[in-house]
A and B are shown apart, each in its own frame.
Chain A
């Protein structure tokens, strides 16, 4: 029993310790955003690595999700004779929920894990210490551009995901199932408002970008300097960031009704 309490106490302690450390880390990233020289070049490199290289997987996934959504939606709606609302169903689910969330999960797997692994490897090989010894702050040079670019990249990728999804949904609904193209688009357009749905979608993906960017860089930066440390930083980034995305998605939806 005493053992159990001690274990529990230790876990709580670890959690609070980690949370505090993560908070300090996040503050430091924010501070470093404004420290000169601004790392524009590094920022652009990261956008390329995290964003441009993810475009294919995002588009293919978006297309597939849109298509399956349309197929499932059609099969369900036709039971109620409401298949002309298919455009609204596909559009709203993609914009409000699936676009931002699935993009965040895919980006975590693709770019988040790569970011964590890259930084953890630099920790392991003492590259970051090497930078420190050259009077260059690795938080400023390496971490901040990576975290910041994720915040920009996430909404852009999410938008691409949604566009591909809408196209996939349209293909199935209109071309395959033979719903009238005009009906499909009108139902989608009239059910959606910019302020609510589109802006909300944007807000979600920005928050997910912050989460994934900070978690992946934090996990990499605090990795133990061994091969095992690198792999556990990568794994825990994927697990932790995915769970955080899903949980925060619930709260954003519940609180802001997005």
Chain B
């Protein structure tokens, strides 16, 4: 396991991570790794710590103990100001969008480019329109985030996450609340950016059928720790929890009853 941090094929590695909120322990000695340039799907029941895992990798929260290596660098020890450098290479799509609600969708995407690059206005506009086209929001660029439906918000959030072509893409439930056409479109887009830019992609999703189709690796979070393997290994697993999670592969609609995901609005 120690070698994981120097292994070039591993982009992110967690070692013995413990995370609790107050007295509530969410992660117990979690050790896992994520292959560079591959799509890893993270499965687990709700409340199993999937979002927490992504937030840990993004450095938004710090574990009580353990190490998180991103490109061989332990980010749990970094000062917040150094963390900002690491995050330049990470794009994160939040579960509920997290777009700035006072500026338009276009400005939301253009903002990081204004901040971190010296591209000209025209280049920025081209780049932004390219991403909006890719997620099918070409005609929504002037709307405020509050005027978007739940599904549109997700797509805008994804567009923002990949605007700077990060090396690592963290997606928290990218498919929940989306209509089937958008699901297909986002699936294709994620595959495309993963292949074209070799983005290491972490997907948290309940859309088991879609994600198992895309996955190179699967990580299942359980109370007793994480189990990882290829999609085939997971399908063959005898573990009842994994079996249960994957049994939804046929129905693929857990999220449609998610109360807050905007399914009703979309």
Complex alpha-carbon distance, A251 and B60, angstroms: 41
Q: A120-143 CB contact bits vs B (8 Å, 1 = yes)?
A: 011001110111111111000000
Given the known interface contacts A126-B94, A127-B100, A130-B99, the answer about A135 and B88 at a Cβ–Cβ threshold of 8 Å is yes
Q: Are B90 and A125 in touch, CB under 8 angstroms?
A: no
Q: How far is the CB of A41 from chain B (nearest CB, A)?
A: 11
Q: Mark interface residues in B67-103 (1 if CB within 8 Å of A CB, else 0).
A: 0000000000000000011011011101011111100
Contact among B60, B94, B116 with A135 in the assembled complex (CB-CB below 8 Å): B116
Number of interface residues of B (CB under 8 A): 24
Contact A134 B101 (CB under 8 A): no
Nearest-Cβ distance from residue A203 to partner chain B, whole angstroms? 34
Roughly how many angstroms separate A178 CA and B48 CA in the complex, as a whole number?
Answer: 78
* A133-B58 in contact (CB<8A): yes
Give Cα distance in the complex from A191 to B211, angstroms: 79
> In the complex, which of the residues B60, B111, B112 contacts A129, with contact meaning CB atoms closer than 8 Å?
B60
Interface string of B230-265 (1 = CB under 8 A from A): 000000000000000000000000000000000000
* CB pair B115 A130 closer than 8 Å: no
CB within 8 Å for A133 and B90 given contacts A125-B101, A127-B101: yes
A125: which B residues are within 8 A, CB to CB? 96-98, 101
Flag if A130 contacts B116 (CB, 8 Å): no
Taking a contact as CB atoms under 8 Å apart, the answer to whether B92 and A133 are in contact is yes
Point out which of B55, B85, B88, B92 has the most chain A C-beta atoms below 10 A from its C-beta.
Answer: B92
Interface residues of B in 124-179 (CB under 8 A from A): 160, 164
Cross-chain contact B88 with A130 (CB below 8 angstroms): no
Q: Which residues in A have their C-beta under 8 angstroms from that of B101?
A: 121-122, 125, 127
Within the complex, the shortest CB–CB distance from B190 to chain A, in Å, comes to 18
Do residues A129 and B98 form an inter-chain contact, with CB atoms below 8 A?
yes
Q: How far is the CB of B19 from chain A (nearest CB, A)?
A: 16
Q: Which residue of A lies closest to B95 (CB)?
A: A126
List, in ascending order, chain A residues with CB within 8 A of B111's CB: 134, 136
For the complex, what is the distance from the CA of A127 to the CA of B145, rounded to whole Å?
11
Which residue of chain A lies nearest to B54 when distances are taken between CB atoms in the complex?
A133
- A131 neighbours in B (Cβ, 8 Å): 100
Residues of chain B within 8 A (CB-CB) of A135 are: 84-85, 87-88, 112, 115-116
Q: Are B96's CB and A134's CB within 8 A?
A: no
Choice from A121, A126, A127, A133 contacting B87 with Cβ under 8 Å: A133
What CA separation (Å) do A129 and B92 show in the bound complex? 10
Contact in complex: B98, A126 (CB < 8 Å): yes
For A136, what are the chain B residues with a Cβ–Cβ distance below 8 Å?
Answer: 111-112, 115
- Which residues in B have their C-beta under 8 angstroms from that of A134? 87, 111-112, 115-116, 160, 164
Residue pairs across A and B with Cβ atoms less than 8 A apart, 19 shown, are A121-B101, A126-B98, A127-B100, A130-B92, A130-B94, A130-B99, A130-B160, A131-B100, A132-B59, A133-B90, A133-B91, A134-B87, A134-B115, A134-B160, A135-B112, A135-B115, A136-B111, A136-B112, A136-B115
Known pairs A126-B98, A131-B100, A136-B111 / 13 extra A-B pairs, C-beta < 8 Å: A122-B101, A127-B98, A127-B99, A129-B58, A129-B60, A129-B94, A130-B94, A130-B100, A134-B111, A135-B85, A135-B115, A136-B112, A137-B84
Taking beta carbons and an 8 Å cutoff, which residues of B are in contact with A?
55, 58-60, 84-85, 87-88, 90-92, 94, 96-101, 111-112, 115-116, 160, 164
